[in-house]
Amino acid sequence: NDIQLKPFLLQTAKAFEQAYNRKISFNCDETSIVRTDEQKLKQLLFIFLDNARKYSDDDIILSCEKKNQKVLIHIQDFGSGIGEKDLPRVFERFYRVDEARTRQNGGTGLGLSLAKEMADVMGIQLELKSEKGAGTTVTLIFN
């Protein structure tokens, strides 16, 4: 179905803020419409927002833009980041970066592998940029 990007993202941000009591800075001024399953997209965003929440302490930024005719959604955090050697592996099932912070958070290491599978089915491309100690940005690219 057709989703109006801005109101949808705003609503997702609000729902997340209420559920987890964590501030999301919203930065999206697009009139774009994307064609995809609304529930699935929300679930996908929640996986990334949830990681941003678990692995950072500061506000999370949810933003959108249009670049080269394509709609992009970014989820950015200023948390622990992911080291170069782990970055190519975090989409694998059960893979977790071996750090105290990760262990404390008691996840399963399935979140990102599920996200990758969902994104593939939905025809959404994922990009992960991360710097150790600085933070992480996940980008969803619509075709």
Q: In this chain, which of 45, 72, 79, 116 binds ligand ATP, going by CB under 6 A?
A: 79
Q: In this chain, which of 16, 96, 119, 139 binds ligand ATP, going by CB under 6 A?
A: 96
* Residue 16 interacting with ligand ATP (CB under 6 A): no
Length of the chain: 143
DSSP helix, strand, coil percent of the chain (3-state; round to 5) = 35, 30, 35
**How far is residue 51 from each of residues 37, 111, 136, measured CA to CA in Å?**
22, 8, 10
The alpha carbon of 117 is separated from its chain's Cα centroid by a whole number of angstroms, namely 14
Size of the site for ligand ATP (CB under 6 A): 22
Half-sphere exposure of 120 (CA within 13 A, CB side): 7
Q: In this chain, which of 10, 38, 109, 129 binds ligand ATP, going by CB under 6 A?
A: 109
Minimal distance in Å, beta carbon 68 to ligand ATP? 25
Question: Given the rule CB under 6 A, which residues bind ligand ATP?
Answer: 51-52, 54-55, 77, 79-82, 90, 95-97, 102, 107-113, 136
